[in-house]
Amino acid sequence: AGELGIHVCGGRGAHSRKTPGELLAIGERVGLDGDALATASRLVAKVDSAAIQDGYDLYLHGFIVTDDGRWVVVQ
């Protein structure tokens, strides 16, 4: 994150499954609710795999969060 205040978690394949733990660590470090961020991450991934019936498996899950709590998911 450094001076920009932007944190990028997850990635592709096995790295995507580490996202919740990374979000908890960031939450502790910058004072955000890491549990809420991890829950949002799981819900977004679940919607992609369960609700979107496009025949593709989730391969990439990136969660980007700023020090002020704004976030976006890239899948």
pLDDT, residue 66, reads 97
pLDDT digits (tens, 9 = 90+) for 21-50: 999 999 999 999 999 999 999 998 888 777
> pLDDT-derived band of residue 53, with 50, 70 and 90 as boundaries?
low
pLDDT at residue 73 tops 90: yes
Residue 13 has a pLDDT of: 84
Q: pLDDT at position 28, please?
A: 97
When pLDDT is cut at 50, 70 and 90, the band that residue 58 belongs to is low
**What separation in angstroms does the CA of 40 have from each of 2, 19, 34, 55, 68?**
24, 11, 10, 23, 16
Structural domain boundaries in the chain: 2-74
Beta carbons of 37 and 19 less than 8 angstroms apart: no
Of 32, 54, 33, 36, the residue nearest 44 (C-alpha): 36
